Amino acid sequence: MTATKARISKFRPSLSLQLTIIGFIITISCVLIALLAPSLQSWGWLQNPTESLINPIHQPPSSEYWFGTTRQGYDVFSRTLFGTQAALKVVILATSLSLVIGVPLGLVSGYLGGKMDKVLLFLMDTIYTLPGLLLSVTLAFVVGKGVFNAAIALSIAYVPQYYRLVRNHTTSVKTELFIEAAQAMGAPTSRILSRYLFFNVIQSVPVLFTLNAADAILILGGLGFLGLGLPPEIPEWGHDLRLALDALPTGIWWPATFPGLAMTVMVTGLSLVGEGLSEIINPKMRRSRND
């Protein structure tokens, strides 16, 4: 019996792996909700998130309105589900833009060095020192509302993170023997960057991408709460929290509770995925935690 228990415990997943799996389940569920929300509405299973129901204003959660209704007569359940779609659109676009800009800049800057490296490093460090929410709010004032505009406002804050990560890895890898051998053989700079350096410095980028996505959801919620995120006709959690704030003192809790919970769940799922990927990519971190 003891040997059997030992074999079973040997194959039991660690706590970090369990949390990572939970994070993946939460994240995939959010993606499925975002993809299926329009179909559920067309099938009549969801109310129109932008259409006021007029009569059932501030109705508490019930069998007819699962999450209740708002002061404006909107169905909270429908707006919460469609808010997932809006959040994913902006966050994926924002993190992708920052990755596409930051990774090549970090590669070129770290490999070539010189004055360009110093100027870029100074610029990125300056942007990096600014709080993400403050920078996004400032940019949102400039570019205005909209999915793409909100993504631009968010992405600028994350470009320095990709730049610094890739640049630091590049400066350490470019002194390796295989890079020196490629240089001695006359390989062009573009080939060294794309074939030899890129795949050796990109390992930690997925971790940063996931953690930035979780952070971007919170910043997008902050922009929506301040009225600077998406247009009012697009369901968005931060905007809904702003509209529900006045009703909280009167005991009407549901218009604010469910969008807030949705935001928390999505951020938690992405954070768990990011932490799990970090331990997979950096086994030394996993060993140090287990010691």
| 174-185 per-residue burial string, b: 16 or more CB within 10 A, e: under 16 | beeeebeebeee
Contact 30, 269 (CB under 8 A): yes
Domain count, the chain: 1
Residue 212 lies in a domain: yes
Dihedral, CA atoms, 22, 25, 28, 29, nearest 10 degrees? -110
Give me the residue label for tokens 């971790």: 207
Per-residue pLDDT of the chain (291 residues; tens, 9 = 90+): 455 544 544 545 677 788 889 999 999 999 999 999 888 888 888 888 888 776 667 788 888 888 988 888 889 999 999 999 999 999 999 999 999 999 999 999 988 888 998 999 999 999 998 888 888 988 988 888 888 999 999 999 999 999 999 999 888 888 888 888 888 887 788 888 888 888 888 888 888 999 999 999 999 999 999 888 888 888 999 999 998 888 888 888 999 999 999 999 999 999 999 888 887 776 554 544 444
Q: pLDDT at position 282, please? A: 67
Does residue 4 form part of some domain? no
Residue 24 lies in a domain: yes
Domain assignment of residue 193, yes or no: yes
Whole-number pLDDT of residue 11: 46
Token output for 61? 């959660």
What residues make up the domain containing 86?
17-286
Burial bucket for residue 5 (CB in 10 Å: 0-12, 13-18, 19+): exposed
Instruction: Report the distance separating Cα 291 and Cα 87, nearest Å.
Output: 38
Residue 5 lies in a domain: no
Nearest to 202 by CA among 171, 175, 162, 174: 162
SS (H, E, C) 62-79: CCCCCCCECCCCCEHHHH
Are 220 and 238 within 8 A, CB to CB? yes
Q: Does residue 100 lie in a domain region?
A: yes
CATH number of the domain enclosing 253: 1.10.3720.10
Angle at 48 between CA 45 and CA 54, to 5 degrees: 115
- Selection from 84, 118, 95, 283 nearest residue 203 by Cα: 283
Question: Would residue 204 count as lying in a domain?
Answer: yes
CA dist., res. 173 & res. 180, Å (int)? 10
Residue 38's contacts (CB-CB under 8 Å, 6 or more residues apart) are 85
Whether residue 269 lies inside any domain: the answer is: yes
State how far the Cα of 45 lies from the Cα of 39, in Å rounded to an integer: 9
